[in-house]
Structure 1
Amino acid sequence: MGTYHLDLGDAQTEELDDVINLLVDGDEFDVDAFVASDKGSDEPRRGSLIIVRNDERNAAAGRWVQAVEDLTTEQDVVLIVGDPASPEARRLHLTKAWAATSFHEDEDDDPEAIALAFADIAVK
């Protein structure tokens, strides 16, 4: 399993515990295997995945969570696979993503995990 980070923009990231349950056009993939083997597509590839957050949370992530949980909007989301400072780190670009479900231990806290649905996925 690789390390994963949520790209919050402005050179800010939040390390994730895991990225799981990647579904692309109805097929399930291991995230690391998908990133290593993806050749891209000219057609949009719809799907979903779950990001699992850890206890060390970036302050900017609170704003991101509010934006992605707002079902009236769609967000482009970037997940970094590997060290964000490394030029060799791959990026999963999720186009027009929204929070299909979020899992809260306590409703006053940021969610522990967020299921994101997306209109397209690309590896860069």
Structure 2
Amino acid sequence: MTVYHLDLGDSQTEELEEVTHLTLAGEDHDIDAFVASDQGSDEPRRGGLLIVRKDERNEAAGRWVQAVEDLSTEQDVIIIAGDPASPEARRIHLTKAWAADSFHDDEDDDPEALTLAFADITIK
């Protein structure tokens, strides 16, 4: 199983517990297999995926979560598959993403998990 990190910019990342439930055009895909084999597409690929956060959280990730949970905004998101410092690590680019759903243990806390919907996905 691949280790995934949320890219927060400015060389900041937050390691994720897991990334699962990748769906494209209503079809489920294994995220590890998709990242390893994706050849790209000339057409936008709308879909979603679930990110589950660890207990150790970056302060910048809390601000990112607030921004992505604001349904009036969409933003590009990068999730790194593997070691963020490695030039071989694959980057999952989600275009115009937003939190379609979030799961909280406590309403006052940052969510434990987010379902991110996106307008397109590319792997670099």
Which category of TM-score, normalised to the shorter sequence, fits these structures? over 0.9
1:78 Cα deviation after fit: 0.3
Task: Tell me the residue number matched to 1:86.
Answer: 86
1:25 Cα deviation after fit: 1.4
Aligned pair 1:50/2:50, yes or no? yes
Task: Tell me the residue number matched to 2:117.
Answer: 117
Task: Tell me the residue number matched to 2:26.
Answer: 26
Percent sequence identity is 76
Aligned pair 1:5/2:5, yes or no? yes
In the alignment of these two chains, the number of paired residues is 124
Runs of 5+ consecutive residues of structure 2 not aligned to the other structure: none
Runs of 5+ consecutive residues of structure 1 not aligned to the other structure: none
In 2, distance between residues paired with 1:13 and 1:21? Answer: 21
Name the aligned partner's letter for residue 78 of structure 2.
Answer: V
What do the CA deviations read for 1:43-93 (whole angstroms, capped 9, x no partner)? 000000000000000010011001100000001000000000011100000
What secondary structure, in the 3-state scheme, does the structure 1 residue paired with 2:63 have?
helix
In 1, distance between residues paired with 2:76 and 2:68? Answer: 9
- Structure 1 vs Structure 2 CA RMSD: 0.4
1:102 Cα deviation after fit: 0.3
Task: Tell me the residue number matched to 2:76.
Answer: 76
In 2, distance between residues paired with 1:24 and 1:79? Answer: 17
Q: TM-score, normalised by structure 2?
A: 0.99
